Protein backbone atom coordinates (compact mmCIF):
# COMPACT_ATOMS: atom_id res chain seq x y z
CA UNK A 1 0.00 0.00 0.00
CA UNK A 2 1.42 3.38 -1.01
CA UNK A 3 -0.11 6.50 0.48
CA UNK A 4 1.69 9.68 1.52
CA UNK A 5 0.04 9.78 4.97
CA UNK A 6 0.71 6.15 5.90
CA UNK A 7 3.92 4.42 6.93
CA UNK A 8 3.95 0.65 7.32
CA UNK A 9 6.72 -1.16 9.20
CA UNK A 10 8.87 -3.34 6.87
CA UNK A 11 7.75 -6.47 8.73
CA UNK A 12 4.11 -5.64 8.06
CA UNK A 13 4.73 -4.92 4.37
CA UNK A 14 6.41 -8.31 4.00
CA UNK A 15 3.68 -10.12 5.92
CA UNK A 16 0.90 -8.56 3.86
CA UNK A 17 2.72 -9.34 0.60
CA UNK A 18 2.82 -13.00 1.62
CA UNK A 19 -0.77 -12.98 2.98
CA UNK A 20 0.68 -13.99 6.35
CA UNK A 21 -1.59 -13.50 9.39
CA UNK A 22 -1.50 -9.96 10.79
CA UNK A 23 -3.47 -8.60 13.76
CA UNK A 24 -4.08 -4.87 14.15
CA UNK A 25 -4.00 -3.44 17.69
CA UNK A 26 -5.38 -0.07 18.79
CA UNK A 27 -3.50 2.58 20.74
CA UNK A 28 -6.12 4.70 22.54
CA UNK A 29 -6.04 1.98 25.19
CA UNK A 30 -2.33 2.86 25.65
CA UNK A 31 -2.63 6.68 25.47
CA UNK A 32 -6.00 7.18 27.17
CA UNK A 33 -7.33 3.86 28.45
CA UNK A 34 -4.83 2.51 30.98
CA UNK A 35 -2.61 4.23 33.57
CA UNK A 36 1.19 4.22 33.41
CA UNK A 37 3.20 1.99 33.65
CA UNK A 38 0.58 -0.68 33.09
CA UNK A 39 -0.17 0.69 29.62
CA UNK A 40 3.34 -0.10 28.34
CA UNK A 41 3.34 -3.53 29.95
CA UNK A 42 0.02 -4.25 28.27
CA UNK A 43 1.11 -2.93 24.85
CA UNK A 44 4.14 -5.21 24.92
CA UNK A 45 2.18 -8.22 26.18
CA UNK A 46 -0.48 -7.77 23.47
CA UNK A 47 2.18 -7.89 20.78
CA UNK A 48 3.84 -10.90 22.39
CA UNK A 49 0.53 -12.72 22.72
CA UNK A 50 -0.17 -12.24 19.00
CA UNK A 51 3.33 -13.50 18.10
CA UNK A 52 3.13 -16.47 20.45
CA UNK A 53 -0.12 -17.47 18.77
CA UNK A 54 1.54 -17.37 15.34
CA UNK A 55 0.55 -13.99 13.85
CA UNK A 56 2.25 -10.62 13.42
CA UNK A 57 1.09 -7.67 15.56
CA UNK A 58 0.54 -4.26 13.98
CA UNK A 59 -0.06 -1.63 16.63
CA UNK A 60 -1.54 1.44 14.93
CA UNK A 61 -1.02 5.07 15.99
CA UNK A 62 -0.28 8.57 14.72
CA UNK A 63 3.34 9.68 15.17
CA UNK A 64 4.54 13.09 13.92
CA UNK A 65 1.46 13.29 11.72
CA UNK A 66 1.98 9.93 9.98
CA UNK A 67 -0.45 7.04 10.26
CA UNK A 68 1.84 4.28 11.45
CA UNK A 69 1.09 0.57 11.04
CA UNK A 70 3.46 -1.53 13.16
CA UNK A 71 5.61 0.15 15.82
CA UNK A 72 9.04 -0.44 17.34
CA UNK A 73 9.43 -1.02 21.07
CA UNK A 74 10.82 2.51 21.42
CA UNK A 75 7.68 3.86 19.77
CA UNK A 76 5.47 1.88 22.16
CA UNK A 77 7.41 3.53 25.00
CA UNK A 78 6.72 6.93 23.44
CA UNK A 79 2.99 6.19 23.25
CA UNK A 80 2.91 4.96 26.83
CA UNK A 81 4.55 8.13 28.14
CA UNK A 82 1.96 10.41 26.61
CA UNK A 83 0.26 12.42 29.31
CA UNK A 84 -3.23 13.07 28.08
CA UNK A 85 -4.04 15.08 31.20
CA UNK A 86 -1.71 17.89 30.06
CA UNK A 87 -3.65 20.67 28.31
CA UNK A 88 -0.84 21.37 25.83
CA UNK A 89 1.02 18.12 25.43
CA UNK A 90 0.06 14.53 25.20
CA UNK A 91 -1.43 12.43 22.46
CA UNK A 92 -4.70 13.20 20.74
CA UNK A 93 -7.50 10.63 20.75
CA UNK A 94 -7.87 9.99 17.04
CA UNK A 95 -11.13 8.84 15.52
CA UNK A 96 -12.31 9.42 11.93
CA UNK A 97 -12.82 13.14 12.04
CA UNK A 98 -9.52 13.75 13.83
CA UNK A 99 -7.11 12.19 11.30
CA UNK A 100 -6.75 15.19 8.99
CA UNK A 101 -6.24 17.58 11.92
CA UNK A 102 -3.57 15.34 13.45
CA UNK A 103 -1.81 15.00 10.09
CA UNK A 104 -1.85 18.73 9.32
CA UNK A 105 -0.50 19.52 12.79
CA UNK A 106 2.08 16.70 12.60
CA UNK A 107 0.64 15.50 15.89
CA UNK A 108 0.90 12.26 17.85
CA UNK A 109 -2.26 10.32 18.61
CA UNK A 110 -3.74 7.09 19.88
CA UNK A 111 -6.26 5.61 17.45
CA UNK A 112 -9.67 4.54 18.77
CA UNK A 113 -11.44 1.38 17.62
CA UNK A 114 -13.00 3.38 14.77
CA UNK A 115 -9.68 5.00 13.86
CA UNK A 116 -7.82 1.70 13.99
CA UNK A 117 -10.44 -0.05 11.84
CA UNK A 118 -10.09 2.66 9.22
CA UNK A 119 -6.28 2.52 9.15
CA UNK A 120 -6.08 -1.29 9.29
CA UNK A 121 -8.51 -1.68 6.42
CA UNK A 122 -6.67 0.90 4.31
CA UNK A 123 -3.51 -1.16 4.83
CA UNK A 124 -5.27 -4.44 3.99
CA UNK A 125 -5.41 -5.86 7.54
CA UNK A 126 -8.69 -7.65 8.18
CA UNK A 127 -8.41 -8.74 11.83
CA UNK A 128 -8.22 -6.37 14.80
CA UNK A 129 -8.11 -7.05 18.54
CA UNK A 130 -9.26 -4.60 21.20
CA UNK A 131 -10.68 -4.63 24.72
CA UNK A 132 -14.12 -3.12 24.46
CA UNK A 133 -15.87 -1.08 21.79
CA UNK A 134 -17.50 2.28 22.31
CA UNK A 135 -21.28 2.51 22.04
CA UNK A 136 -24.32 4.54 23.02
CA UNK A 137 -23.67 6.36 26.29
CA UNK A 138 -26.16 6.41 29.15
CA UNK A 139 -25.43 10.04 29.98
CA UNK A 140 -26.71 11.31 26.62
CA UNK A 141 -28.61 9.41 23.94
CA UNK A 142 -26.82 11.51 21.28
CA UNK A 143 -23.38 10.40 22.43
CA UNK A 144 -22.92 7.45 20.09
CA UNK A 145 -19.36 6.29 19.48
CA UNK A 146 -18.00 6.48 15.93
CA UNK A 147 -16.96 2.87 16.62
CA UNK A 148 -20.53 1.81 15.80
CA UNK A 149 -20.67 3.63 12.48
CA UNK A 150 -17.26 2.18 11.58
CA UNK A 151 -18.48 -1.31 12.37
CA UNK A 152 -21.32 -0.67 9.94
CA UNK A 153 -19.06 0.57 7.15
CA UNK A 154 -15.59 -0.95 7.40
CA UNK A 155 -15.17 -4.63 6.49
CA UNK A 156 -12.87 -5.87 9.25
CA UNK A 157 -13.29 -8.46 12.02
CA UNK A 158 -13.12 -6.79 15.44
CA UNK A 159 -12.46 -9.05 18.42
CA UNK A 160 -13.54 -7.54 21.76
CA UNK A 161 -14.96 -8.57 25.13
CA UNK A 162 -18.27 -6.87 24.36
CA UNK A 163 -18.89 -3.37 25.62
CA UNK A 164 -18.67 -1.98 29.12
CA UNK A 165 -21.81 -1.64 31.15
CA UNK A 166 -20.91 2.08 31.43
CA UNK A 167 -22.74 2.16 28.09
CA UNK A 168 -26.41 1.67 27.31
CA UNK A 169 -25.91 -1.91 26.13
CA UNK A 170 -29.44 -2.55 24.79
CA UNK A 171 -29.29 0.68 22.74
CA UNK A 172 -25.79 -0.22 21.51
CA UNK A 173 -27.01 -3.62 20.29
CA UNK A 174 -30.11 -2.08 18.68
CA UNK A 175 -27.90 0.31 16.76
CA UNK A 176 -25.67 -2.53 15.55
CA UNK A 177 -28.75 -4.47 14.45
CA UNK A 178 -30.13 -1.48 12.55
CA UNK A 179 -26.79 -1.02 10.78
CA UNK A 180 -26.60 -4.71 9.83
CA UNK A 181 -23.53 -5.55 11.89
CA UNK A 182 -23.25 -9.23 12.90
CA UNK A 183 -22.54 -9.63 16.62
CA UNK A 184 -20.91 -13.03 17.07
CA UNK A 185 -20.66 -14.68 20.48
CA UNK A 186 -17.51 -16.77 20.69
CA UNK A 187 -18.61 -19.92 22.53
CA UNK A 188 -21.50 -17.94 24.03
CA UNK A 189 -25.12 -17.02 23.27
CA UNK A 190 -24.96 -13.95 25.49
CA UNK A 191 -23.39 -10.58 24.68
CA UNK A 192 -20.54 -10.18 27.18
CA UNK A 193 -20.23 -6.92 29.14
CA UNK A 194 -16.45 -6.50 29.31
CA UNK A 195 -15.69 -7.06 33.04
CA UNK A 196 -18.68 -9.37 33.27
CA UNK A 197 -19.44 -12.44 31.21
CA UNK A 198 -23.15 -11.76 31.45
CA UNK A 199 -25.45 -8.98 30.26
CA UNK A 200 -28.79 -10.73 29.72
CA UNK A 201 -28.63 -9.67 26.04
CA UNK A 202 -28.40 -11.89 22.96
CA UNK A 203 -25.76 -12.01 20.23
CA UNK A 204 -26.91 -12.44 16.62
CA UNK A 205 -25.03 -15.73 16.16
CA UNK A 206 -22.88 -18.05 18.22
CA UNK A 207 -19.72 -19.55 16.69
CA UNK A 208 -17.45 -21.99 18.48
CA UNK A 209 -14.10 -21.92 16.65
CA UNK A 210 -11.74 -19.59 14.76
CA UNK A 211 -12.42 -21.73 11.66
CA UNK A 212 -16.15 -21.05 11.87
CA UNK A 213 -15.49 -17.34 12.33
CA UNK A 214 -13.24 -17.16 9.26
CA UNK A 215 -15.84 -19.12 7.24
CA UNK A 216 -18.52 -16.71 8.44
CA UNK A 217 -16.45 -13.69 7.34
CA UNK A 218 -15.82 -15.17 3.93
CA UNK A 219 -19.52 -15.92 3.36
CA UNK A 220 -20.66 -12.54 4.75
CA UNK A 221 -18.39 -10.57 2.45
CA UNK A 222 -18.95 -12.82 -0.55
CA UNK A 223 -22.69 -12.22 -0.17
CA UNK A 224 -21.91 -8.59 -0.88
CA UNK A 225 -22.22 -7.36 2.68
CA UNK A 226 -19.90 -4.50 3.42
CA UNK A 227 -20.06 -4.24 7.20
CA UNK A 228 -17.55 -5.18 9.83
CA UNK A 229 -18.04 -8.26 11.98
CA UNK A 230 -18.00 -7.92 15.74
CA UNK A 231 -16.68 -10.99 17.56
CA UNK A 232 -17.36 -10.90 21.29
CA UNK A 233 -15.11 -13.04 23.46
CA UNK A 234 -16.13 -13.22 27.15
CA UNK A 235 -13.51 -12.37 29.77
CA UNK A 236 -11.89 -15.50 31.29
CA UNK A 237 -13.93 -16.75 34.26
CA UNK A 238 -11.08 -16.38 36.77
CA UNK A 239 -10.91 -12.61 36.23
CA UNK A 240 -14.57 -11.85 35.60
CA UNK A 241 -16.42 -9.44 37.90
CA UNK A 242 -20.14 -10.07 38.30
CA UNK A 243 -22.74 -7.71 36.89
CA UNK A 244 -24.17 -7.07 40.35
CA UNK A 245 -20.75 -6.09 41.72
CA UNK A 246 -20.08 -3.69 38.83
CA UNK A 247 -23.49 -2.00 38.75
CA UNK A 248 -23.19 0.36 41.77
CA UNK A 249 -19.71 1.51 40.74
CA UNK A 250 -20.84 2.20 37.19
CA UNK A 251 -23.82 4.15 38.53
CA UNK A 252 -21.51 6.23 40.73
CA UNK A 253 -19.01 6.99 37.93
CA UNK A 254 -21.88 7.94 35.63
CA UNK A 255 -23.48 10.24 38.22
CA UNK A 256 -20.12 11.97 38.76
CA UNK A 257 -19.65 12.51 35.03
CA UNK A 258 -23.06 14.15 34.79
CA UNK A 259 -22.43 16.29 37.90
CA UNK A 260 -19.06 17.45 36.52
CA UNK A 261 -20.45 18.14 33.04
CA UNK A 262 -18.03 15.74 31.34
CA UNK A 263 -19.02 14.87 27.80
CA UNK A 264 -17.71 14.24 24.25
CA UNK A 265 -14.31 12.61 23.75
CA UNK A 266 -13.45 12.98 27.44
CA UNK A 267 -16.38 10.94 28.74
CA UNK A 268 -15.06 7.43 28.01
CA UNK A 269 -11.58 8.03 29.54
CA UNK A 270 -13.20 9.65 32.60
CA UNK A 271 -15.54 6.71 33.21
CA UNK A 272 -12.74 4.17 32.70
CA UNK A 273 -10.41 5.81 35.18
CA UNK A 274 -13.14 6.40 37.81
CA UNK A 275 -14.18 2.76 37.62
CA UNK A 276 -10.63 1.54 38.07
CA UNK A 277 -10.35 3.76 41.18
CA UNK A 278 -13.67 2.55 42.52
CA UNK A 279 -12.81 -1.13 42.04
CA UNK A 280 -9.36 -0.52 43.59
CA UNK A 281 -7.49 -2.04 40.68
CA UNK A 282 -9.63 -5.16 40.33
CA UNK A 283 -11.05 -3.86 37.07
CA UNK A 284 -7.54 -3.19 35.73
CA UNK A 285 -6.53 -6.78 36.28
CA UNK A 286 -9.68 -7.87 34.48
CA UNK A 287 -8.96 -5.42 31.66
CA UNK A 288 -5.48 -6.86 31.04
CA UNK A 289 -6.73 -10.40 31.12
CA UNK A 290 -9.47 -9.86 28.57
CA UNK A 291 -7.20 -7.88 26.26
CA UNK A 292 -4.69 -10.72 26.11
CA UNK A 293 -7.49 -13.23 25.66
CA UNK A 294 -8.73 -11.21 22.67
CA UNK A 295 -5.24 -10.92 21.16
CA UNK A 296 -4.91 -14.71 21.23
CA UNK A 297 -8.28 -15.33 19.58
CA UNK A 298 -7.56 -12.63 16.97
CA UNK A 299 -4.28 -14.33 16.04
CA UNK A 300 -6.09 -17.64 15.63
CA UNK A 301 -8.73 -16.03 13.41
CA UNK A 302 -6.03 -14.21 11.39
CA UNK A 303 -4.32 -17.55 10.75
CA UNK A 304 -7.59 -19.03 9.45
CA UNK A 305 -8.16 -15.96 7.29
CA UNK A 306 -4.69 -16.28 5.82
CA UNK A 307 -5.49 -19.84 4.71
CA UNK A 308 -8.50 -18.41 2.84
CA UNK A 309 -6.45 -15.63 1.25
CA UNK A 310 -8.28 -13.52 -1.31
CA UNK A 311 -11.28 -15.81 -1.27
CA UNK A 312 -13.62 -12.95 -0.49
CA UNK A 313 -14.57 -10.06 -2.68
CA UNK A 314 -13.63 -7.20 -0.41
Q: Which of 26, 47, 75, 304 is catalytic?
A: 26
Is 108 a binder of Mn ion (CB under 5 A)? no
Binding part of the chain for ligand PSU, among 11-19, 35-43, 107-115, 173-181 by CB under 6 A, reads 107-115
CB-nearest residue to Mn ion? 143
Contacted by 132, from ligand PSU, Mn ion, none: CB < 5 to 8 Å by type? ligand PSU
Give, as ranges, the residues between 112 and 131 that touch ligand PSU (CB under 6 A). 112-114, 131
Q: Which of 93, 126, 138, 164 is catalytic?
A: 164
Is 143 a binder of Mn ion (CB under 5 A)? yes
| Pairwise CA distance, residues 200 & 190, whole Å | 7
Contacted by 257, from ligand PSU, Mn ion, none: CB < 5 to 8 Å by type? none
Smallest distance, Å, CB 151 to Mn ion?
15
Identify which of 197, 172, 160, 128 has the alpha carbon closest to the alpha carbon of residue 293.
160
- Among 132, 182, 185, 228, which residue sits at the site for ligand PSU (rule: CB under 6 A)? 132
Catalytic-residue membership of 311: no
Smallest distance, Å, CB 91 to ligand PSU?
12
Contacted by 304, from Mn ion, ligand PSU, none: CB < 5 to 8 Å by type? none
Query: What single-letter DSSP state applies at residue 232?
Result: E
Identify which of 50, 39, 94, 49 has the alpha carbon closest to the alpha carbon of residue 68.
94
| Pairwise CA distance, residues 92 & 64, whole Å | 11
Is 98 a binder of Mn ion (CB under 5 A)? no
Contacted by 275, from Mn ion, ligand PSU, none: CB < 5 to 8 Å by type? none
| Pairwise CA distance, residues 309 & 43, whole Å | 28
| Pairwise CA distance, residues 149 & 115, whole Å | 11
Separation in Å, CA 202 to CA 45, 114, 124, 161, 170: 31, 23, 31, 14, 10
| Pairwise CA distance, residues 75 & 93, whole Å | 17
- Among 19, 84, 204, 265, which residue sits at the site for ligand PSU (rule: CB under 6 A)? 265
Give, as ranges, the residues between 17 and 56 that touch ligand PSU (CB under 6 A). 26, 28-29, 33
Nearer to ligand PSU, 29 or 50 (CB): 29
Is 199 a binder of ligand PSU (CB under 6 A)? no
Angle at CA of residue 116, ends 114 and 118, nearest 5°: 70
Nearer to ligand PSU, 15 or 186 (CB): 186
- Among 49, 121, 227, 268, which residue sits at the site for ligand PSU (rule: CB under 6 A)? 268
| Pairwise CA distance, residues 103 & 64, whole Å | 8
Give, as ranges, the residues between 245 and 264 that touch ligand PSU (CB under 6 A). none
Count the site residues for ligand PSU by CB under 6 A.
Answer: 18
| Pairwise CA distance, residues 63 & 180, whole Å | 34
Catalytic-residue membership of 26: yes
Identify which of 233, 57, 237, 33 has the alpha carbon closest to the alpha carbon of residue 134.
33
Nearer to ligand PSU, 18 or 258 (CB): 258
Identify which of 17, 19, 18, 27 has the alpha carbon closest to the alpha carbon of residue 67.
27
Query: What single-letter DSSP state applies at residue 236?
Result: P
Separation in Å, CA 162 to CA 33, 36, 80, 267: 16, 24, 24, 18
Binding residues (CB under 6 A) for ligand PSU: these are 26, 28-29, 33, 112-114, 131-132, 134, 145-147, 164, 194, 265, 268, 272
List residues with catalytic annotation: 26, 164
Binding residues (CB under 5 A) for Mn ion: these are 143
Amino acid sequence: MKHPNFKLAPEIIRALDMSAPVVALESTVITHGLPRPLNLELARKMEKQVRDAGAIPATIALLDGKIRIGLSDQELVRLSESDSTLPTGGFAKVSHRDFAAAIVKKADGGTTVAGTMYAANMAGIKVFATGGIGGVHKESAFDISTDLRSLAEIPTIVICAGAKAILDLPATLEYLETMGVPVIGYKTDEFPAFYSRESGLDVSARLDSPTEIADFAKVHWNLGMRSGILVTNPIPETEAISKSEMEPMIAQASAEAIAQGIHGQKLTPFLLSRISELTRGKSLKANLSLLLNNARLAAEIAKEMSVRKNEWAI
